[in-house]
């Protein structure tokens, strides 16, 4: 999701998005641990981790 789109969301929407991202991160970690993560998706854990950091930063700014 684009940063400008995230800035327009409310704190509650960002929290809901954060929960979704955490679930996706867990699923990707499990796929990697069991060897089921396809080589084309090797960058997905990094992308999700960075997006989680962006959401946390925006939530801190909105307080």
C-alpha 52: how far from chain center: 4
pLDDT in tens, 5-17: 999 999 999 999 9
Q: What integer pLDDT is reported at residue 1 of this predicted model?
A: 80
Q: What integer pLDDT is reported at residue 36 of this predicted model?
A: 95
pTM of the predicted structure, to 2 decimals: 0.91
Instruction: Provide the b/e sequence for 32-49 (b: ≥16 CB within 10 Å).
Output: eeeeebeeeeeebbeebe
Phi then psi for residue 35, to 5 deg, are 80, 20
């Amino acid at each position: 999701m684009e940063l400008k789109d995230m800035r327009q969301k409310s704190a509650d929407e960002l929290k809901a998005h954060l929960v979704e991202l955490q679930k996706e991160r867990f699923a990707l970690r499990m796929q990697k641990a069991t060897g089921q993560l396809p080589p084309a998706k090797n960058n997905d854990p990094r992308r999700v981790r960075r997006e989680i950091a962006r959401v946390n930063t925006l939530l801190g700014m909105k307080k």
